[in-house]
Amino acid sequence: MISEPIRKMSQVHWIVLFLCISIAWLFLYLLSVPEELRLLSKIYGANFLNEFCVITPNVTGFLQIFSMWALMSAAMMAPTALPAFAVYEELGDNVEIDLWRLLLGYLMIWVVFSIFVSILQMALFLSGYLDNLGQSTSSKLSGSLLFLAGVYQFTSFKEACLSKCRMPLTFFMEHFEQGPLANGLRLGAVCLGCCWALMLLSFVGGVMNLAFMGLATFLMIIEKLPQYGRFLTMPLGFILIVSGFNLFVF
């Protein structure tokens, strides 16, 4: 499907595309833990959920966490990546391009991120800062993550990454001659630069909390829109800083 010109994709192609995204979200839903079970865990203790969601401190447990993060990254980032792919395809009207390699480079960045954050989650879990649902058990950790994400919203690096995501035409024209794989890596790195701090807030809302993932995806999509994103970045940062400060202090 991706080898077809994106701007000429038929209804069937679009249906297949969004079906793939929907399947990813369906798997995330199946991995999520219903609110009823969360409430029961408060009554009967955290061990109540062990048979539903076991994180073991071994290779199997790590692969379980990594698979979840890789799937979550794909489901959350795919809706924001297609416009950039379309722009790249349009730049290649007079030359042969390989969108598969562009996609490969983009996904490689998120696979590396998934490995890193899986190691972080396992370390925090073994240290007692996360429960077996990937949710923070420490107000200090939650407050620190919220405060960090809020401060990052105001940094020049975040703004630089967002400016490239909001103007993919200019971004690709600067590096088009380097080829699709390198451009895919660059696009993935810039996208990660926009979103990594917000993605880490999964530890606050719960890694397996579908509602939190949906809200985070919505915010990241809006933030990358050139018409509306600039009205969201700083207010969101202020809200995160205040929320983090309240949790950390009180």
- Provide the residue-wise pLDDT of the chain in tens; the chain has 250 residues: 444 445 554 445 445 555 566 566 555 555 555 555 555 455 545 554 444 445 667 787 888 889 888 888 887 887 777 778 778 877 765 556 677 788 889 989 999 999 999 999 999 999 999 987 788 999 999 999 999 999 999 999 999 999 998 888 888 888 888 888 999 999 999 999 999 999 999 999 877 677 777 788 888 888 888 888 889 999 999 999 999 999 877 7
Helix (H) or strand (E) run with residue 208 in it: none
pTM to 2 decimal places:
0.78
End-to-end CA distance of the chain: 52
For residue 89, what are its two tokens? 């395809």
DSSP structure class, residue 136: B
Integer CA distances (angstroms), 163 to 21, 73, 99, in order: 26, 21, 23
Asked if 117 and 203 count as a contact pair (C-beta separation under 8 A), the reply is no
Domain boundaries, the chain: 6-249
